[in-house]
Amino acid sequence: MVIYSVTVTVDEAIKEDWVRYMKEQHIPEVIATGCFTGYRFTRVIGTSEEKENSFNVQYFLDSMKEMHRYQVHFAPALQKDHSQKYGDKALAFRTLLEEI
């Protein structure tokens, strides 16, 4: 299994709106692409304000082929929408992981 992990640090002022957007719009749109088999949405636990305002979404895929399909056909528009809505108030760091 491949895991597409997206960690986002969110400005305190928009945190509630951003979480709602992720749960109600963005994550459902990502899953609707048909590339992913599921996901997990979590808050990063930490003692600093940055950590308390950081979240992680892990999207699960069967193969790198599906990840490539997502990156080519869907990711640019979805990432652009997120960026236009939140700009530098929600900064994302993306990682690909392989289950061992």
Burial group, residue 21, by CB count within 10 angstroms (0-12, 13-18, 19+): middle
pTM of the model: 0.90
CATH 3.30.70.100 fits 2-98, yes or no: yes
The pLDDT score that the predictor gives to residue 46 is 74
Domain extents in the chain? 2-98
**Cα within 13 Å of Cα(16), Cβ side:** 1
List all residues 6 or more positions away from 4 whose beta carbon is below 8 Å from its beta carbon: 36, 58, 59, 61, 67, 70, 94, 95, 96, 97
Q: State pLDDT tens for residues 37-87.
A: 999 999 998 766 555 689 999 999 999 999 999 999 999 999 999 999 999
